[in-house]
């Protein structure tokens, strides 16, 4: 078990933890955080796989990709939060299901 | 130039139709002019084409569709038969419809779709291969639906749904069969003698299945039992539409398609080898009898005529299925003859409904005295249907009888005799009521000048077609008559 | 002149013009609609120029950013990219014209007008960028651009339902793209490249490759709303303003599908895809039947059209099981043809639904009762556009069904035949239900006035959808330039 594999493995683990939360949690903020955790997992996999071979210098391409990915993820988070705030203002509700009571779990 | 006449014939009804859609309801004169001009121009082009085909010059036009697919328009003798019939009867039906729908709403819509319908029929007649045929055949389905539901009543909408369900079902089966046949055989150009003959014998089983699918799908429009029940339901449509459906467009398109499949795709010899035609003959015979039997008990006049159509169209298929030159002549000539007779009957039924509000058979007592000309035309059509010499119906039945004897299928003669008796059974009481029964009620007196029974646009078309029923019967061997033309087609098909 | 045409900048401009216009439209809201319209008028010419340039140079790939292939952003201008650029330009032009009428310059919907144009132009640029991307990561970024713009466009209506639909779509999109990205990471880890062509040559078929493929396909299936992952689509498409619904159904769905099409035919052929193909075919089958049946039950026109999209997506996914050795070209062309004709037809249908909503106050199907006058034009547009959805000739839908049936017969997968055919009948049934209302004979007291930009541009699009089968020869030939498939389209069955 090398360190990159460990990192990649935990990245995948993070991805699935996030996915689980995204599907299970109903509070919008939790969903948004869950999506971010999923994203971080994927980015970790990328970075870990960049450390290929024995050379001391990491492959720069995955790092570039992760930078781009972080920007994309940031945009999505911003839009999601804006939408969530609007929904909360309109309905006093912090979940997606329109006819269910708001929950604060 | 030679080729452009084919699209010109298509456009002569398509363009007026498209323009009519955009016209407001009130511009009656412009709409009428466009309609009649389109019909006359089309008839002129058809006459030009007719002269070419007589000289055995077959115009052709090919356009690439996808790779390996083409849109093929071609005028051969068989297309001319159907084309001339539809072009001529379109003119008459247009005149009739202008009179019939006077003052009713949505006329721009009606005449627009009416023209589209005839364009699709023209396309079917001119199709040079199966792909083109399928395209126009489906276009006919779509353009007829608005005509069937034209009245907009719940009954009309119901009939429209039934019509669409049947014909679209037929359409998808036709698509499947055509794609399959194309995959087995290659290009499906209509060729006398067929294109299937050279196929690997290992695929004969598939070819039999495809033939059954083709007959099933085309049989929907040709109203073969048990796929016929949309036709009586569609009777709620206005009379010109019924006339068009029964005599020219829809029913005939199905029958014409079956002729094309048997003659120009499978070829008579190959179909006989695979023993495909005997089941078709039996199916046609069943339909002939069943339609007549059901017609006996109908009290609604148009429904009685509809079941009569179910029966009569199968004469065409019977003639094809007997696979004998004489029977083929009888079948093909009935394509035209049945059209002339049935359109006369529907025009007259429309006149009764429009002028005197008569829809039922038992309301017809003594109507001959009130509308003598209409009922005279009706009588000629009905006697022709029964097969009384020298009317055209007799010619069809005569050749069919001769053909069945020549093909050693004497049982068909029995069917013909039975069917003739049944025809007489449902038409003669009607004629008796019309002319000899005492009037039950007082008809409204005609308000037209000279006490004319109805307006000219309603009266002239049935009189013309009735006259043709007599003329083509008496002078059957005249140059250019349906029989003359059909003999040419048959000679070419059988290589005589 | 030839130099100008051959110069490869046409493709950058196809992306940069709409993106620049989006910024301009955002900064100058007063002129937003004219900026949008000008962009929409310019882009079709660029698309045509791009086609001309490619025909001259015969489609060498080009790189951007001045870096050589492994580092630079590689752009691809094969036939598929060209036809998608062109069809997007066409549909986009019509939608832009329609939107001029739909979003009035003044009035209480001012904010919708203000934000529609920048977002729509942004989406357009994103789509164009996606079509010409040639590596996995670029496809990811462009797909995200498209999703982000779509989410905000759905939210444009501002109500509770719209916001909820938008946020749900955002989560779905995010999940889908992260799954896809994880697959990209795995491929990059194994082969150190994200270039489609290179990757296609290098794949070894290891277990990891298959896992990556599964992740990417799952993500893309989610984004293109294949059953059972379609649940977000009807709400999202029906809640949005009509021009947005048209964009979503006509273009956005296709964006994810294009990525999958490229991957399937260029990257995955060396993997074992038969089982996955069957699974996608099965899901497509269920989507066709289930989507059509639900469409039959809808009372609102927009929902009916949205469920019809679910069914049509099912047809698109039949490409994957049907593309086998001989029938690669047949199935591929069938899919591309269906994509193009569906884009035209569905956009026109949504615009009709939007106009009815706009003028009659509701898009209930019963509002069509006794349609005549200006509404009559709408019914005509709807009917013409519906021909391609049903698959009646001479529309493109008819010919793509032809190709699918041919492929199913040749590959011996006869069980797809009843699916393809019954889908046609079901589509006819739900369209006929709408038309039945239109033909019903009831008197309407007054007809609302409809701006001409909301009537005639959709009619043009519907006419193109109707005759697309007759004019499809050239587009299909262009689409096949540099395509991963080749050979005859109509294949013969051998005993």
By CB atoms closer than 10 A (0-12, 13-18, 19+), residue B201 is exposed
Residues of C in contact with B180 (CB under 8 A): 405, 409, 493
Sign of CA pseudo-dihedral C256, C262, C268, C269: positive
Residues of C in contact with A87 (CB under 8 A): 160, 163-164, 167
Q: Mean pLDDT across chain B, nearest whole number?
A: 89
> Which pLDDT score is estimated for B171?
94
Residues of B in contact with C370 (CB under 8 A): 152
- Interface with chain A: mutation pick from C181, C187, C194, C198, highest number of A CBs within 10 Å: C181
Interchain pair C393, B146: CB under 8 A: no
At A53, is the pLDDT very low, low, confident or very high (cuts 50, 70, 90)? Answer: low
> Is the pLDDT score of C142 beyond 90?
yes
Given CB atoms, is B150 within the 8 Å cutoff of chain C?
yes
At B22, is the pLDDT very low, low, confident or very high (cuts 50, 70, 90)? Answer: confident
> Which pLDDT score is estimated for A99?
42
- Interface with chain B: mutation pick from C427, C439, C455, highest number of B CBs within 10 Å: C439
At C72, is the pLDDT very low, low, confident or very high (cuts 50, 70, 90)? Answer: low
Q: Say how far apart CA C478 and CA C262 lie, in whole Å.
A: 16
Mean pLDDT lowest among B55-64, C402-411, C441-450 = C441-450
Residue B202's closest chain C neighbor by CA?
A: C495
> Which pLDDT score is estimated for B164?
92
At B487, is the pLDDT very low, low, confident or very high (cuts 50, 70, 90)? Answer: confident
Select the residue of C398, C425, C439 nearest B157 (Cβ to Cβ). Answer: C439
Residue B205's closest chain C neighbor by CA?
A: C495
> Which pLDDT score is estimated for A91?
84
Q: Mean pLDDT across chain C, nearest whole number?
A: 87
> Which pLDDT score is estimated for C35?
92
**% pLDDT > 90, chain C:** 50
Interchain pair C161, A80: CB under 8 A: no
Q: Which two tokens stand for residue B226?
A: 């048990």
> Is the pLDDT score of C302 beyond 50?
yes
| pLDDT, average across residues B378-382 | 94
| pLDDT, average across residues C35-61 | 80
Select the residue of C70, C160, C178 nearest A87 (Cβ to Cβ). Answer: C160
| Pairwise pLDDT comparison (B23 vs C120), residue with the higher score | C120
Collapsing DSSP to helix, strand or coil, C54 comes out as helix
- The tens digit of pLDDT for each residue in B79-91 reads 989 999 999 999 9
- Interface with chain C: mutation pick from A24, A59, A65, A78, highest number of C CBs within 10 Å: A65
Residues of C in contact with B182 (CB under 8 A): 406, 490
> Read out DSSP for A2-58?
-HHHHHHHHHHHHHHHHHHHHHH--SHHHHHHHHHHHHHHHHHHHHHHHS-SS-SSP
> Which pLDDT score is estimated for C456?
87
> Which pLDDT score is estimated for B405?
92
> Which pLDDT score is estimated for A101?
34
- The tens digit of pLDDT for each residue in B395-454 reads 999 999 999 999 888 899 999 999 999 999 999 999 998 888 877 677 777 777 776 788
**% pLDDT > 70, chain B:** 99
- The tens digit of pLDDT for each residue in B249-291 reads 899 999 999 999 999 999 888 998 888 999 999 999 999 999 9
| pLDDT, average across residues C83-97 | 94
Select the residue of A41, A62, A87 nearest C167 (Cβ to Cβ). Answer: A87
Q: Say how far apart CA B259 and CA B316 lie, in whole Å.
A: 9
Residue B176's closest chain C neighbor by CA?
A: C405
Given CB atoms, is A34 within the 8 Å cutoff of chain C?
no
Residues of C in contact with A31 (CB under 8 A): 171
Residues of C in contact with B175 (CB under 8 A): 398, 401-402, 405, 421
> Is the pLDDT score of C106 beyond 90?
no
At C57, is the pLDDT very low, low, confident or very high (cuts 50, 70, 90)? Answer: low
At A32, is the pLDDT very low, low, confident or very high (cuts 50, 70, 90)? Answer: very high
| pLDDT, average across residues B121-150 | 92
Non-local CB neighbours of C90 within 8 Å, separated by 6+ positions = C44, C344, C461, C464
Q: Say how far apart CA C71 and CA C64 lie, in whole Å.
A: 10
What burial letters (b/e) apply to B364-395, b meaning 16+ CB within 10 Å?
Answer: bbbbbebbebbbbbbbbbbbbbbbbeebbbbb
Secondary-structure percent of chain B, ordered helix, strand, coil, rounded to 5:
75, 5, 20
CA angle in degrees (0–180, nearest 5) for C301-C304-C310: 145
Residue C193's closest chain A neighbor by CA?
A: A61
| pLDDT, average across residues C287-308 | 93
What is the nearest CA distance from C14 to chain A, expressed in angstroms? Answer: 22
ipTM of the complex: 0.91
| Pairwise pLDDT comparison (C61 vs A53), residue with the higher score | A53
> Which pLDDT score is estimated for A102?
33
CB B235 within 8 A of CB B342: no
Instruction: Round to the nearest angstrom and report the end-to-end CA distance of chain B.
Output: 32
> Which pLDDT score is estimated for A54?
61
Taking the whole predicted model, whether its pTM rises above 0.90 is answered as yes
> Which pLDDT score is estimated for C143?
94
> Which pLDDT score is estimated for C446?
63
| Pairwise pLDDT comparison (C355 vs C3), residue with the higher score | C355
Select the residue of C435, C439, C492 nearest B186 (Cβ to Cβ). Answer: C492
Chains C and B contact (Cβ–Cβ under 8 Å for 3 or more pairs):
yes
Residue A45's closest chain C neighbor by CA?
A: C185
> Is the pLDDT score of C21 beyond 60?
yes
- The tens digit of pLDDT for each residue in C266-297 reads 999 888 889 999 999 999 999 999 999 999 99
At C109, is the pLDDT very low, low, confident or very high (cuts 50, 70, 90)? Answer: low
> Which pLDDT score is estimated for C65?
46
> Which pLDDT score is estimated for C107?
63
Select the residue of C387, C410, C440 nearest B152 (Cβ to Cβ). Answer: C440
- The tens digit of pLDDT for each residue in C317-349 reads 999 999 988 889 999 999 999 999 999 999 999
By CB atoms closer than 10 A (0-12, 13-18, 19+), residue B119 is buried
Interchain pair C174, A76: CB under 8 A: yes
> Which pLDDT score is estimated for C133?
87
| Pairwise pLDDT comparison (B217 vs B26), residue with the higher score | B217
What burial letters (b/e) apply to C280-309, b meaning 16+ CB within 10 Å?
Answer: bbebbbbbbbbbbebbbebebbbbbbbbbb
> Is the pLDDT score of A105 beyond 50?
no
């Amino acid at each position: 078990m090398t360190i990159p594999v460990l990192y990649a493995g935990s990245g995948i683990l993070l991805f699935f933890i996030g996915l689980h939360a995204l599907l299970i949690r109903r509070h919008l903020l939790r969903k948004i955080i869950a999506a971010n955790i999923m994203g971080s997992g994927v980015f970790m996999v990328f970075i870990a796989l960049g450390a290929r071979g024995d050379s001391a210098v990491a492959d720069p391409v995955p790092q570039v990709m992760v930078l781009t990915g972080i920007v994309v993820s940031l945009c999505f988070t911003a839009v999601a939060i804006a939408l969530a705030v609007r929904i909360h203002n309109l309905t006093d509700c912090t979940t997606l299901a329109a006819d269910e009571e708001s929950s604060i779990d | 130039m030679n080729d452009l006449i084919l699209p010109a014939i298509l456009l002569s009804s398509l363009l007026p139709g498209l323009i009519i859609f955009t016209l407001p309801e009130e511009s009656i004169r412009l709409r009428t002019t466009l309609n009649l001009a389109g019909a006359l121009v089309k008839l002129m082009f058809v006459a030009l084409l007719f002269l070419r085909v007589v000289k055995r010059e077959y115009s052709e036009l090919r356009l690439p569709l996808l790779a390996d697919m083409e849109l093929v328009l071609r005028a051969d003798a068989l297309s001319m038969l159907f084309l001339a019939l539809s072009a001529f009867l379109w003119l008459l039906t247009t005149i009739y419809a202008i009179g019939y729908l006077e003052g009713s709403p949505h006329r721009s819509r009606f005449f627009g779709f009416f023209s589209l319908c005839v364009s699709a029929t023209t396309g079917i007649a001119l199709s040079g291969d199966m792909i083109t045929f399928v395209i126009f055949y489906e276009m006919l389905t779509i353009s007829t639906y608005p005509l069937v539901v034209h009245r907009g009543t719940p009954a009309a909408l119901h009939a429209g749904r039934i019509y669409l369900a049947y014909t679209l079902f037929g359409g998808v089966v036709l698509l499947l069969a055509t794609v399959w046949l194309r995959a087995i055989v290659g290009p499906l150009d209509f060729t006398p003698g067929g294109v299937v003959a050279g196929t690997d014998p290992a695929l004969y089983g598939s070819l039999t299945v495809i033939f059954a699918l083709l007959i099933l799908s085309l049989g929907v429009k040709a109203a073969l039992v048990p796929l016929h029940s949309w036709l009586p339901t569609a009777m709620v449509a206005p009379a010109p539409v019924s006339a068009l459906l029964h005599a020219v467009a829809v029913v005939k398109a199905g029958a014409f398609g079956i002729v094309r499949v048997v003659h120009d795709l499978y070829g008579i010899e190959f179909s006989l080898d695979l023993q495909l035609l005997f089941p078709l003959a039996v199916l046609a015979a069943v339909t002939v009898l069943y339609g007549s039997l059901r017609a006996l008990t109908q009290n609604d006049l148009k429904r009685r005529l509809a079941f009569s159509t179910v029966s009569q169209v199968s004469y065409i298929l019977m003639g094809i299925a007997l696979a004998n030159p004489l029977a083929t002549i009888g079948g093909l000539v009935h394509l035209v003859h049945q059209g002339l007779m049935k359109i006369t009957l529907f025009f007259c039924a429309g006149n009764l409904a429009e002028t005197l509000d008569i829809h039922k058979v038992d309301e017809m007592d003594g109507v001959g005295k009130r509308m003598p000309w209409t009922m005279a035309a009706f009588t000629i059509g009905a006697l022709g249907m029964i097969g009384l010499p020298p009317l055209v119906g007799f010619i069809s039945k005569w050749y069919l009888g001769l053909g069945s004897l020549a093909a050693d299928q004497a049982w068909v003669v029995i069917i013909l005799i039975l069917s003739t008796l049944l025809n007489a059974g449902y038409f003669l009481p009607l004629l008796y009521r019309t002319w000899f029964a005492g009037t039950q009620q007082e008809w409204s007196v005609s308000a037209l000048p000279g006490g004319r029974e109805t307006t000219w646009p309603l009266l002239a078309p049935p009189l013309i077609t009735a006259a043709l029923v007599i003329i083509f019967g008496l002078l059957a061997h005249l140059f250019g008559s349906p029989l003359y033309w059909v003999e040419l087609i048959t000679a070419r098909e059988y290589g005589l | 002149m030839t130099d100008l045409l051959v110069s490869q900048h046409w493709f950058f401009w196809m992306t940069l013009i709409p993106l620049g216009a989006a910024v301009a439209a955002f900064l100058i809201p007063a002129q937003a609609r004219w900026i949008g319209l000008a962009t929409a008028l310019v882009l079709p010419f660029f698309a045509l120029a791009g086609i001309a340039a490619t025909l001259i140079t015969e489609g060498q790939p080009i790189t951007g950013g001045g870096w050589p292939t492994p580092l630079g952003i590689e752009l691809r201008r094969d036939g598929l990219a060209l036809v998608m650029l062109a069809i997007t330009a066409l549909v986009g032009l019509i939608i832009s014209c329609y939107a001029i009428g739909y979003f009035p310059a003044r009035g209480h919907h001012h904010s919708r007008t203000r934000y529609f144009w920048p977002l729509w132009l942004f989406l357009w640029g994103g789509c164009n960028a996606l079509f010409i991307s040639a590596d996995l990561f670029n496809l990811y970024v462009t797909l995200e651009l498209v999703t982000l713009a779509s989410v905000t466009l759905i939210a444009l209506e501002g109500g509770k339902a719209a916001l909820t639909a938008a946020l749900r779509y955002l989560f779905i999109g995010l999940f889908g793209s992260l799954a896809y990205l994880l697959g990209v990471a795995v491929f990059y880890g194994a082969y150190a490249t994200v270039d489609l062509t290179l990757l296609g040559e290098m794949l070894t078929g290891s277990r990891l490759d298959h896992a990556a493929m599964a992740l990417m396909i799952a993500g893309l299936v989610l984004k293109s709303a294949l059953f059972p992952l379609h649940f977000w689509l009807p709400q999202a498409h029906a809640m949005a303003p009509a021009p947005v619904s048209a964009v979503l159904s006509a273009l956005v769905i296709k964006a994810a599908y294009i990525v999958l099409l490229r991957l399937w035919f260029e990257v995955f052929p060396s993997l074992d895809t038969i089982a996955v193909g069957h699974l996608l075919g099965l899901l497509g089958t269920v989507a066709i039947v289930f989507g059509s049946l639900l469409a039959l039950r809808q009372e609102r026109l927009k929902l009916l059209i949205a469920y019809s999209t679910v069914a049509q997506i099912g047809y698109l996914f039949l490409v994957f099981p049907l593309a086998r050795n001989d029938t690669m070209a047949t199935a591929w062309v069938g899919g591309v043809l269906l994509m193009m004709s569906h884009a035209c037809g569905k956009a026109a249908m949504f615009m009709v639904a939007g106009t009815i909503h706009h003028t009659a106050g509701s898009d209930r199907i019963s509002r069509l009762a006794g349609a005549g006058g200006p509404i009559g034009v709408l019914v005509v547009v709807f009917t013409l556009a519906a021909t391609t959805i049903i698959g009646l000739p001479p529309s493109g839908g008819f010919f793509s069904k032809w190709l699918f049936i041919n492929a199913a017969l040749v590959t011996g997968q006869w069980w797809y035949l009843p699916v393809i055919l019954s889908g046609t009948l079901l589509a006819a049934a739900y369209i006929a239900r709408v038309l039945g209302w239109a033909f019903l004979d009831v008197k309407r007291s007054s007809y609302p006035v409809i701006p001409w930009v909301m009537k005639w541009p959709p009619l043009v699009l519907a006419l193109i959808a109707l005759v697309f089968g007759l004019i499809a020869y050239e587009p299909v030939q262009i689409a096949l330039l540099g395509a991963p498939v080749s050979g005859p389209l109509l294949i013969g069955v051998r005993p």
